[in-house]
Amino acid sequence: MNGHQEPAHEARSGAYVPPIEDILLTLEVVGLSDLLRLDDFGHLDRDAVGVALHEFGRLASEVIAPTNRLGDRLGATFVPETNGVVTPAALRDAYRHYVNGGWGSLQFPESYGGGGFPAVVGLALQEMFASANMALSLNPVLTQGAIELLLAWGTEAQRSAYLPKMLTGEWTGTMLLTEADAGSDLGGIRTHAERDADGQWRITGSKVFITWGEHDLAPNIVHLVLARAKGGPPGTHGLSLFVVPKFLPDSDGEPRTRNALRCTRLEDKLGIHASPTCAIELEGAIGELVGPEHGGLRAMFTMMNAARLSIGLQGPAVGERAFQEAAAYGAQRLQGHRPNTTASQRSAIVDHPDVKRMLFDMRTRVLASRLLIYMAAAHGDRARHGGDGMVRTAGQALADLCTPIAKAWSTDVGFAVASLGVQVLGGMGFVEESGMAQHLRDARIAMIYEGTNGIQAVDLVTRKLPRDGGRWIRTVLDDIGRATQAPSGASDPLDVSRAVLSEAHGVLGNATGWMLSNLHSHTDDVLAGATSYLELAGITLGGWLMVERAVHAARVGSGDRAISECNFFATETVARATGLLRPITSGAHRLE
């Protein structure tokens, strides 16, 4: 990786067409029209959403997408003399366009200079950004998570010091959680905070794996740091959260004084090469407490939950791009011939049923995982903006329940889809020249960071399922149950889908009952089945949302394609749900 050689021809390869119609349909399925009727969104309508998607889609395809392969090839470069990080000029330029367009602020309150859109619309922009360049998109993802955190927990002074510049993207944000001995288990954090003689918090410690922890895209970086305030209890209860900027803003708000922290190394890694993954040394850096002392993890969860959906979204985002490239390749690559034709009549590989199956599989898994992520985000919008307390409570509980499923299942899907993309291209998929290998490498990290998919499964079965005695998973099961019923009257083109969904629904109901009744008496058995349970939940919720999508599409006159996609997804993917009951319930003794 050399930050100084930028072959111009690479910047043109790997076209990306923003799937605006698919995204708009997804938004409708998860309730955009209802959201736009809420008081907080009274200034918006569907046209405003459509314009935002089209405009940003143009930026994503014309400016950001051409930087993807170049960023992979050149990566970010650490400069030891300055502890700085240099990114390729094309990425800096793409990021400048993003900032100048004001895109980072779309879903934030108008009082801080935002557009006041629902978060689910902001997520749609994030999807296109991640399809265009996943590594670069991580920078705004973290900035936006940090904004959410400061909105929820920051003081008014902290908000006015940081939010206006972070909303525009002029300053960027990070999260500093991980340390050498503290990954999934943040109770191991050793970074500590002490007040100095002036009463200021001073933070000291070593953080690793910090995404965009140092870079040259912005003049200031706002770090949100988990540290152990002196006198706090051990474990996660002793953690406090601090805002620690790279440059401390002066009284006029300008960042002039360098804070005592520095990047000491970049990781050399499998994918997302353009995203610098930094080791950061804090050497008595000045920070301000955010939220209550020793209550830092709760505050940090605001950012982590926002980021979990954004990371989950990287599954369908990279999957979409892999699908587009595989479909284009399949249409022009000639190999073999169809039955009943002569050997001289070579067919495009897309005409072979097995290749067609792979492409359908890629497309439908992308559609289903997109639906799941957007649904979780729309629940979050209801939690924040819903008309009454009941709506808000239900929105929050359903967002909490769906987030681990959406994060883990969608990122598993993203990697599987990228792998199918490699398969469709054959040998060309495996060599770097085609660009498909990059998608496979990039997609892999999303299953690991922001809480590994294993940790998501544990969170789902131990915390989210049992909340309120299992009330919220039962609410979801009831919704799915309704979708298994065909409307009375005319013949139903979705009858295959509904029949398969009905079986999956039954299995999910049984598996949920088993999980809830064994959680306290046979915890290890439940934990041994957690990942398979999450997969079952992802498949079944995906199948349900595909039915809802087909019903919506039929209403607006574009139903035929959506029906065949739904029926394919049901028979190819949802049908596998029944086989998951045994791995879920077979217990931990198998592991001895």
Ligand X SMILES: Cc1cc2nc3c(=O)[nH]c(=O)nc-3n(C[C@H](O)[C@H](O)[C@H](O)COP(=O)(O)OP(=O)(O)OC[C@H]3O[C@@H](n4cnc5c(N)ncnc54)[C@H](O)[C@@H]3O)c2cc1C
The residue ranges that bind ligand X (CB under 6 A) are 175-178, 183-184, 209-211, 269, 277, 445, 448-452, 454-455, 458
Residues contacting 465, CB < 8 A, separation 6+: 401, 473, 512, 515, 516, 519
Query: Rounded to whole angstroms, how far apart are CA atoms 119 and 32?
Result: 11
Other C-beta atoms closer than 10 Å to the C-beta of 284 total 14
Among residues 250, 179, 167, the alpha carbon closest in space to that of 208 is found at 179
In the complex with ligand X, the residue whose CB is nearer, 156 or 268, is 268
Q: How far is the CB of 226 from ligand X (least distance, A)?
A: 8
Query: In terms of DSSP H, where are the helices of 333-451?
Result: 353-385, 389-425, 427-430, 436-445
Query: Rounded to whole angstroms, how far apart are CA atoms 121 and 132?
Result: 17
| Contact of 436 with 325, CB cutoff 8 Å | yes
What is the 8-class DSSP label of residue 557?
T
Structure tokens at 580: 């998951």
In the complex with ligand X, the residue whose CB is nearer, 277 or 410, is 277
- Looking up tokens 């009941």 gives 390
**HSE (side-chain half, CA atoms, 13 Å) at 396:** 12
| Contact of 287 with 243, CB cutoff 8 Å | yes
Among residues 10, 288, 450, 535, which one is catalytic?
Answer: 450
In the complex with ligand X, the residue whose CB is nearer, 448 or 551, is 448
Q: How far is the CB of 452 from ligand X (least distance, A)?
A: 3
Among residues 502, 310, 475, the alpha carbon closest in space to that of 406 is found at 310
Q: How far is the CB of 454 from ligand X (least distance, A)?
A: 3
Residues contacting 469, CB < 8 A, separation 6+: none
Residues contacting 375, CB < 8 A, separation 6+: 29, 30, 402, 406, 541, 545
In the complex with ligand X, the residue whose CB is nearer, 214 or 288, is 214
Q: Is 450 a catalytic residue?
A: yes
Name the residue with the smallest CB distance to ligand X.
Answer: 183
In the complex with ligand X, the residue whose CB is nearer, 405 or 501, is 405
Q: How far is the CB of 1 from ligand X (least distance, A)?
A: 15
In the complex with ligand X, the residue whose CB is nearer, 235 or 454, is 454
Structure tokens at 551: 């019903």
Structure tokens at 284: 């008595």
**Catalytic positions:** 450
